[in-house]
Copies of this chain bind each other. A is one copy, B any other.
């Protein structure tokens, strides 16, 4: 079968020592590989610090057949879901959890998701990850936008909420462990958003961490395999609930400008960094933020708990991810009490609006764009202080412009 074998896995070179890294393919469409269960630990490779990587397959209900990879670096654990576009279900370190309690209790297999449902809100039936990518052809709210149809003409289609990438299973998944210290642990996967008369976008992602560390990195590489320039969007929808989110929790970051998403958000724009507790009937508030960067082009945002002794910091390149969305959904616990810290190429308006605002990047034929986030779990007041000082350094004394009015969106 030439088609099945055509895209013979071309692995980008991995930065590593002269010695070859350990490499295990656990899913491969090109090689016909599927792995029900698999475990690797530091003992298997004879490295000193304890760690483990487990591949599991979930069963029952709407999660039947879902593949997950659980990485435990000895201090930090995170769970990647290849079946759901290499999203990250949750991460934990000490008593800090990156994740939230969604009303969606199962890790829903894409076969049960119909993105078109409910006026384009079907995505919400599977939404429970800590980090879910919105994208790639579009990333924002549902509604009408233009596309090029099967006779090459501009046509209109109904976009669906947050795009398709989170409900496409990874075609290739591999585990890589560096041969040289610190023996970095890497989960790599390829997710294709490809169709005839449509996008030919390929996402290669790597989630990696060093044994014993409290930080991990999401490194994405997005390639346009089409012959034409291609619009794309990516929003890293990173969601926090208890215990980090609580009445008195705060978000902080190096910011240039904050604009409320709509009139409802505008009412509380002065308090956009503050969180209240779960509130029955709370309607989501969204803030569109231009992050500030230091001379290396990096920005930092963090969330900290009410006691100000636990938190998470995320750094990213503002060239790659120039727009940061803060989503506050402080609803009752059963409805999903959650906040989203969302670095992106765009805000979550419909792509039509984003295009008008100049926030829909394009990728030339054959071109590749690097995107990603570094995530640090903050386990003490000292950790929080360091992150706060880092924000201060990046901010460099600039004032944050706080807009009272939302963007004018027709």
* A interface residue numbers (CB < 8 A to B): 1-4, 6-7, 27-34, 56, 58-65, 68, 70, 79, 89-90, 92, 97, 99, 101-107, 110-112, 114-119, 121, 124-125, 127-128, 147, 149-152, 155-158, 161, 168-172, 192, 194-198, 200, 225-228, 262, 264, 280-281, 283-284, 331-336, 365
Contact = CB atoms under 8 A, between A and B. Distances in A.
A90 B1 contact: yes
Given A3-B128, A102-B196, A116-B116, 6 more contacts: A3-B90, A34-B60, A104-B194, A114-B114, A124-B195, A228-B281
A117 B116 contact: yes
B89 A60 contact: no
A266 to B, nearest CB: 14
The complex is assembled from copies of this chain, and their number is 3
A89 B227 contact: no
A97 B2 contact: yes
Given A2-B97, A119-B157, A152-B283, A103 B226 contact: yes
A79 to B, nearest CB: 6
Given A63-B29, A225-B334, A115 B118 contact: no
B227 A27 contact: no
A18 B110 CA distance: 44
A160 to B, nearest CB: 8
B29 A194 contact: no
Contact of A280 (B58, B170, B228, B284): B228
B226 A60 contact: no
Given A27-B61, A61-B169, A225-B334, A103 B196 contact: yes
Contacts of A116: 114, 116-117
A274 B128 CA distance: 52
B3 A32 contact: no
A261 to B, nearest CB: 9
A377 to B, nearest CB: 16
A245 to B, nearest CB: 15
A118 B195 CA distance: 11
Contacts of A110: 111-112
Contacts of A2: 90, 92, 97, 99
A192 to B, nearest CB: 7
A121 B150 contact: yes
Q: Which of A29, A156, A228, A280 has the most chain B CB atoms closer than 10 A to its own CB?
A: A29
A150 B128 contact: no
Contacts of A280: 227-228
Given A63-B29, A168-B62, A107 B196 contact: no
A2 B78 CA distance: 11
Contacts of A225: 103, 334
Contacts of A27: 59-61
Given A90-B3, A171-B60, A334-B227, A198 B152 contact: no
A365 B334 contact: yes
A276 to B, nearest CB: 15
Contact of A89 (B3, B118, B151): B3
A128 B4 CA distance: 11
Nearest to A280: B227
